[in-house]
């Protein structure tokens, strides 16, 4: 299957700082990328969907000014958690889908801890 690389895998940051998470499709062009958040022992919660070159579509309840998503190229999308707080600590996962794809491929996830 196609490969999606997510970086970093773990990050610890101080409260009030910003953190950027990268999601790259290594061997295909990702026209659509999805960003999820996962709390312990829970399922994936879709945060936003982004199409290359367009603004991301955020799910209800997700603060777009806090979770900035950029999908500037067909192989890279970034999620920036701005002014992070301890309650933002979570596991964030991206997935990518090609133009003709029927499935999405997932990154390895990023464990964010805000102290």
Partner 1 sequence: AQSVTQLDSQVPVFEEAPVELRCNYSSSVSVYLFWYVQYPNQGLQLLLKYLSGSTLVKGINGFEAEFNKSQTSFHLRKPSVHISDTAEYFCAVSEAGNQFYFGTGTSLTVIP
Contact residues toward partner 1 (CB under 8 A) are 1, 4, 6, 9, 34, 41-44, 46, 49, 91, 93, 95, 97, 101-109, 111
Cβ proximity to partner 1, 83 vs 113, nearer residue: 113
- Is residue 36 within 8 A of residue 93, CB to CB? The reply is yes
Q: Which is nearer to partner 1, 40 or 86 (CB)?
A: 40
Separation of alpha carbons 21 and 12, rounded Å: 12
Rank residues 13 and 82 by Cβ distance to partner 1 and give the closer one.
Answer: 13
């Amino acid at each position: 299957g196609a490969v999606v690389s997510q970086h970093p895998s773990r990050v610890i940051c101080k409260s009030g700082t910003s953190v950027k998470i990268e999601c790259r499709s290594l061997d295909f062009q990702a026209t659509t990328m999805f960003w999820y958040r996962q709390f312990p022992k829970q399922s994936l919660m879709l945060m936003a969907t982004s199409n290359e070159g367009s603004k991301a579509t955020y799910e209800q309840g997700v603060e777009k000014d806090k979770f900035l998503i950029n999908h500037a190229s067909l192989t890279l999308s970034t999620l920036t958690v701005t002014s992070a707080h301890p309650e933002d600590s979570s596991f964030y996962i991206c997935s990518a889908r090609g133009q003709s794809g029927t499935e999405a491929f997932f990154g390895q996830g990023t464990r964010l801890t805000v102290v």
